Amino acid sequence: MGKDKDKEKEEEGEGGTAFVTIPYTLGMSAALGLRSTFVKTKSEGDQMSPTRGKTRGKSIVLSVMQLAPMAWGAAIPLLMTSHAGAQFTSPIVLDADIAGTSSKILVADLNNDNNDDIVVTRRDGFTREIRIYSGNGDATFSPPHTINPTGHTPSSLAIGDLNGDGFDDIVSTSVTPGEGFVWFPNSAGSFSNMITIDTEFHRFSDCRVVDTDNDGDLDILAIGDIVFVHYANDGSGQFTKSIIPPVVITENYAFEVADINNDGYLDAIIAGIKTFIYINNTDNTFTYNPTISDSLFDIPSLSFSVLAKDFDHDGDQDLIIGDTNQRNYWWYEQQNDGLFTFRQIISTGIFQSHSIAAADFDNDSYFDLITNFPQLGQTVWFKGNGAGDFETATLIHQGTVPHPQHVATGDFNNDGTPDAVWSLPLSVHLSTAQASCPPDLTDDNMLNFFDISAFLAAFVAQDPVADFTQDDIFNFFDISAFLKAFAEGCP
């Protein structure tokens, strides 16, 4: 390692203490209090406050002397990581009643047992309900717990801790006239209470539970046929509603949130007849940005799916948009000027594909994709190479036509590798790729100081490899997640 002004390694012989000095980022500041045994400021006068920004300035010095139980220089043997293409097991059928009738599939740990659970909506004849399948961590699930609320027909769902009690709650929209927008508080895994958020009928098609103003509690964004609505949370589950004025009266079908302009705040991407990008003004308001929106040239004129991730690892958000009219999936690369002036086809031949998800199925540290081809009855995945390129579709399952419209990912057997879930019927496919070791950033099958140094360098450079929480924001949560993974070791 070079010994320049902003990055140097110092070793103190008998004390066994190693220090690394890196440029200070505001996003690291919150870690200083929580990780005071690891971190000290370069000068006694430095003042650091918990801010979620990306401004760089001062330097900090991290001490790795106390990373128990590993002493400085100790090596931890690891299994070699296989980079062979991911393969999936045959489907594990969870519920034959969910047979192409689900309008949403979500994965979350609702009972805080560190196992992924599956939440779906079921629409079948007069049946309108939410089903929760609690995961046991070994690819088995408990019999479903059903929420069948009176006066509400669930459509789209979102999950998050709205009242700050440490348990994720469920938000549910309805497309039935006369019914409102509701949420179900999670009482240690039970959802017996329904609370109305909004009695006005907006025919919401999708919603998200996210922290829009970075105040530490979760707010709600929802879209409908011609509306975009924000619900600001006071931290206890009480909401203040504001309607974002539409640019044009059109139909909205697909919804995504991501930090498009790299200011640390989540923005909104709405797709349908046209794709609109609304920039977060940081004060619980959003403004349509015509410059960024119009840079999505030849934008699909009918889209049911949109996904935002940094697919080429250049530090900004790219978009994947489904084009039903041309039957393509397009990848739009965000350039250095913040505009989406380059695109390429990921796949052709799609039609009415309503869902696409990203995960690293083969443990090569790059995003792969999973989606479905409804007209072919297929669930497929695309291997990514980290540069925005994807291989041709690989078949996961051949089903009947028409095929299910929604897919999701989660680690259902706790092996560290994402698995796939879809409906028709509700089924799980386990990935058989060998689990990776995320904190082994030097890829030398050992955990030691050099992995810490590599993480810090990646964090400062805002390299996605340091985004350990995978929320596309670089802050102390990533540092905490890395240190936790480092301390726990690897298989």
Say what the pLDDT of residue 178 is: 78
DSSP 294-320: HTSTT--SS-S-EEEE-TTSSSS-EEE
Distance in angstroms (rounded) separating the CA atoms of residues 19 and 41: 11
CA 19 to chain centroid, in Å, comes to 33
Which pLDDT score is estimated for 24? 34
pLDDT at 101: 60
User: What tens-digit pLDDT sequence spans the chain (491 residues)?
Assistant: 443 433 333 333 333 333 333 333 333 333 333 332 233 222 333 332 222 222 223 333 333 333 333 332 333 222 222 223 458 999 999 988 776 566 689 999 999 999 999 999 887 766 788 999 999 999 999 999 999 888 888 888 999 999 999 999 999 998 788 788 999 999 988 898 999 999 887 888 899 999 999 999 999 999 987 889 999 999 999 999 999 988 877 778 889 999 999 999 999 999 888 889 999 999 999 999 999 999 987 765 778 889 999 999 899 999 998 877 667 888 999 998 889 988 888 877 666 678 899 999 988 889 999 998 877 888 899 999 998 899 988 999 887 776 657 899 999 999 989 999 987 788 999 998 876 788 888 878 788 989 999 999 999 998 888 988 877 788 988 999 999 889 888 76
Distance from C-alpha of 30 to C-alpha of 454, rounded to nearest angstrom: 20
- Structural contact between residues 369 and 390, judged by C-beta atoms closer than 8 angstroms: yes
C-alpha count within 13 angstroms, C-beta hemisphere, residue 87: 6
Residue 111 near residue 117 (C-beta atoms within 8 A): yes
Whole-number pLDDT of residue 93: 92
